[in-house]
Amino acid sequence: MTRAIGIDIGGTGIKGAVVDLAVGELVSERVKHATPEGGVPDDIVSTVRLIVDDLVENHRGDDVTHIGVCFPAIVRNGRTMSAANVSDDWIGLDADARFSEALGRGIHFVNDADAAGYAEVVYGAARDHRGLVIMTTLGTGIGSALIYDGVLIPNSELGHLELDGDDAEHWAANSAREREDLSFERWAERLTRYYRHVEFLFSPDLLVIGGGVSKQHDEFLHLIDVSTPIVPAELRNNAGIMGAAALAQRHSR
Ligand code: BGC
């Protein structure tokens, strides 16, 4: 069995698990810690180390071959080039090297939405889908992943598409719905505008909608008026963990 550890770093929580990559299932419980206040690199690295040690010692992670870590930032060659909901100290940091040093072994570092989207293509809602799949995560921001014929094109950052002079994620993310107390109908009007723009630019074959709010997809997905087939994500909270683990293995090949 090929096992890898996946770690998903977010603005509020950091979670990790051991993943069986052959079947795409977690084979350990999820170990979760709160994201340290301020989100500075040293504190986050220490928390990830606690999680990895725990998984290796207590949760069947002793024979893992790879560790993948996903994070809410543009990641270029292991370096974090932005920082969403964490400290600005991440900007320009060689995260890959920092984590590898602290953990005493190589890791693979990727954007959080890229990990989630990749997992949906390999194991979830877009399994075996050919052509262009675009996954977006609707949360505090909007994360995006572009996967063409199973190959990830990283760092697409479609949450920052500018429409009406403003980043789409400022008015279309789930945080905008909550902040402005929008009904699902009103929110879906904004999402329609956003996804039509995405459709126009990329002509995707499938749109996958993730993020915590995708649990409530019955309330709004059918109201998004686009011509591309649109489906809810399937892997929910585990998508980042699974995708980070799978990308770590793929990267090592
Ligand atoms: C960031 C992305 C991230 C997304 C979801 C956006 O604000 O720019 O890098 O993937 O939020 O966390």
List, as one string, the DSSP characters of 44-108.
HHHHHHHHHHHHHHHSS-TT--EEEEEESS-EETTEE---SSS-GGGTTB-HHHHHHHHHTS--E
Candidate from 142, 209, 237 with most ligand 1 atoms within 8 A of CB, to mutate: 142
246 in the same domain as 228: no
- Distances 87 to 42, 82, 133 between C-alpha atoms, Å: 11, 10, 31
Kindly indicate the confidence band of residue 61, based on its pLDDT and cuts at 50, 70 and 90: low
Q: Is residue 182 part of a domain?
A: yes
Q: Is residue 120 part of a domain?
A: no
Q: Residues 16, 24, 156, 178: is their CA dihedral positive or negative?
A: negative
108 in the same domain as 129: no
Q: Average the pLDDT over 229-233 and give the result.
A: 98
161 CB neighbour count, 10 Å cutoff:
17
Who contacts 132 (Cβ-Cβ below 8 Å, separation ≥6)? 146, 147, 148, 202, 203, 204, 205, 206
232 lines ligand 1 (CB under 6 A): no
Residue 63 has pLDDT above 90, yes or no: no
* Distance of CA 73 from the midpoint of ligand 1 (Å): 6
Q: Which domain holds residue 104?
A: 3-115+238-252
* Distance of CA 83 from the midpoint of ligand 1 (Å): 8
96 lines ligand 1 (CB under 6 A): no
90 in the same domain as 35: yes
HSE-up of 219 (CA within 13 Å, CB side)?
A: 10
**Residues of 75-101 as b/e, b for ≥16 C-beta within 10 angstroms?**
beebbbbbbbebbeebeebebbebbbe
pTM of the model: 0.96
Chain segment 99-148, per-residue pLDDT in tens: 999 999 889 999 999 999 999 999 999 998 999 999 999 999 999 999 99
111 lines ligand 1 (CB under 6 A): yes
Q: Is residue 19 part of a domain?
A: yes
DSSP tag of 28: S
Q: Is residue 228 part of a domain?
A: yes
87 in the same domain as 60: yes
* Distance of CA 114 from the midpoint of ligand 1 (Å): 10
109 in the same domain as 7: yes
Share of the chain above pLDDT 70, in %: 98
CATH number of domain containing 71: 3.30.420.40
Contact assessment for residue 131 and residue 206, using Cβ atoms and an 8 Å cutoff: yes
157 lines ligand 1 (CB under 6 A): yes
The total number of structural domains that make up the chain: 2
105 in the same domain as 9: yes
180 CB neighbour count, 10 Å cutoff:
11
Q: Is residue 131 part of a domain?
A: yes
129 in the same domain as 110: no
Ligand 1 atom 5: the closest Cα is on which residue? 143
